[in-house]
Amino acid sequence: MCGIIGYVGEREATQVLMTGLNQLEYRGYDSAGIAVRTGGNLDVRKRAGDIETLEDAIEENAPTGSTGIGHTRWSTHGPPTDANAHPHTGEDGEVAVVHNGIIENYGSLKEELQAVGRTFTSDTDTEVIPHLIEQFIAGGASPERAFREAVDRIEGSYAVVATFANSDVVFAARNDSPLVVGVGGDGHYLASDVPAFLEFTDQVVYVDDGEVVTLHSDRFEVTTTDGLPVEKSVETVDWDVEDTGKSGFAHYMLKEIHEQPTALRQCLSGRVNELDGQVELDGLEAIGQPSQVQFVACGTSYHAALLGAQRLRDKGIPARATLASEYAVSPPPIDDSLVTGVTQSGETADTLAALREARGRGARTLAVTNVVGSTAARECDAALYIRAGPEIGVAATKTFTSQVVTLSLLAEYLDAGDADGALVRERLRALRDLPDLVQRVLDDSRAEEIADEYVGSESYFFIGRGPNRSVALEGALTFTEITYEHAEGFAAGELKHGPLALVTDETPVFTMVTGNDEAARKTVSNVKEVEARDAPVVAVTDGKTDVEDYVDDVLALPGAHPSVLPLLANTQLQLVAYHVANQLGRSIDKPRNLAKSVTVE
């Protein structure tokens, strides 16, 4: 899986494809390639490694033509090699294919094709598709019929795009993997994500599962797999191409950390009536008033869901967060639950599977996502957008913060009429003030100094209690993702039940201590436990306890309402992770082995 770009039109396809591939780098990849129709032939160039390696391979003799497809691959079947890179072709050179997803029955299809004499040159599941297409063409099928027949034979998740040597038409199909059409004045585009063609057009059509796209230079058609026409609306994407640039920052991640105040203002805009103590969220009529809420999510979104569930429980609304990959195989009783999928992209395969399981059992579903028109948004009964704008860095930053604030708004919305008005207004004021508080942390942070002090340590631990436990988990995940160093997050009280065995003077412990309640005071006791074992301790704190007396360094937080302090602590940890990774020379925006949008289970 990873990034797809396709084009039919008046431009030089190579230029369009390479622009698209560069825009898709943020999704993570380990090889890249293009196929361009040139004078009745397909010119295929592909290389393991980064896009610059591919650019070097085509620099002096670029394919010329106005129809083509491209791909960035994140390995699932076979290592990253030139042979395993996409596009893949059959033996006859008639068709080239790119594919995201997993073909579950590729083994049996490969055996069938080998039995009739077809030779395979890669380890991938994808290669069965062009061989199937060529086999159907050899039997007399047209390119379109051969493509449809091949799609009918494959099982699994896929977004498949094919181009042919003898036709300037591109065909595509989708099942459980994102695909979007770009409608332009100088041609038409296909991609796995909008940024791939945003430089050329902001007019998009979202493709649904079970649909086939036929792309011409002057038009496009969407049909079912049986060939029945499907009416699709063209939507305008409100992202500006400049939003996907670095704006002078060294990395997208650093830019997106600093964009958090703006993202939060966008998230809150028009939704908070502080005077009346009300939250107004449009389009949620379908979710009603659930008896409980079940969150399903993965990775960073799961940590946001943990905080969202805590917000709801604080209001007396039963709520729990479950890893989507576990929910799909062992779902809890649903009853009158609202099952809420938290997914930045709206395309996360595990989360979609969990939501579909819930819907199949009669639950109402809600998508909390950043992407208008994403699969989760279209399939759920309602969608609640976090409005963070495009996030290019693989490690989530502004989307995590915006998810948590959106879930806080959802908690207030579901609790409407039952809460103390003065307390609601106090919490809403805290949310209103949050963007400025995040800016203060960004302006005053000592994170770079802390990174200087502890870079090169043996391991890193992150601890906290209550909401700060979720921040500890997220801090450790972000640190691991971009530094490639070992880091773990724990509930602070669990240290003595095992993890203390790993504590040494080479394991810095980052502890979140906010407020002066029982949880904070007990966390200070946990700090003393690790300090007694010579571990260096960094406290992320608002100074309401005496924790500073027992630690080596402090990352200070401004005074704020308890409900927003975890997000301020998280901002400090984002900066620490970034600066350690930068000092280690890591690929911060595109960490090895990781993808931004995980579209396989």
| Identity of residue 501 | A
Residue that the structure tokens 């909390």 belong to: 368
Residue that the structure tokens 């709206």 belong to: 346
Q: How many CA atoms lie within 13 A of 569 on its CB side?
A: 34
Strand partners, 97: 88, 162
d(CA 451, CA 446): 9
Cis peptide before 143 (omega within 30 of 0): no
Tokens coding 197: 């063609």
d(CA 419, CA 423): 8
Q: Name 7's Cβ contacts closer than 8 Å, sequence gap at least 6.
A: 13, 16, 17, 20, 66, 67, 68, 69, 170, 187, 188, 189, 190, 197
Catalytic residue selected from 2, 267, 298, 380? 2
Q: Find out whether 3 and 27 touch, Cβ atoms under 8 Å.
A: yes
Closest CA to 107 of 154, 152, 176, 73: 154
Strand partners, 33: 46, 71
Strand partners, 442: none
| Identity of residue 295 | F
E strand or H helix that includes residue 97: strand 95-103
d(CA 210, CA 191): 17
d(CA 85, CA 97): 11
Give just the sign of the alpha carbon dihedral 83, 87, 88, 94.
negative
Greatest CA separation found in the chain? 81
Closest CA to 116 of 88, 102, 136, 96: 136
Q: Find out whether 446 and 453 touch, Cβ atoms under 8 Å.
A: no
C-alpha pair distances (Å), 551 with each of 50, 89, 120, 458, 460: 43, 60, 60, 19, 15
d(CA 325, CA 10): 44
Q: Name 175's Cβ contacts closer than 8 Å, sequence gap at least 6.
A: 101, 156, 157, 158, 159, 209, 210
Total number of residues shown for the chain? 601
Q: Find out whether 369 and 343 touch, Cβ atoms under 8 Å.
A: yes
Give just the sign of the alpha carbon dihedral 375, 380, 386, 387.
positive
Catalytic residue selected from 46, 255, 398, 596? 596
Closest CA to 484 of 377, 569, 380, 592: 592
* Catalytic annotation present for 596: yes
d(CA 571, CA 592): 23
Helices 299-314 and 398-414 cross at an angle (nearest 10°) of 30
- Annotated active-site positions, please? 2, 596
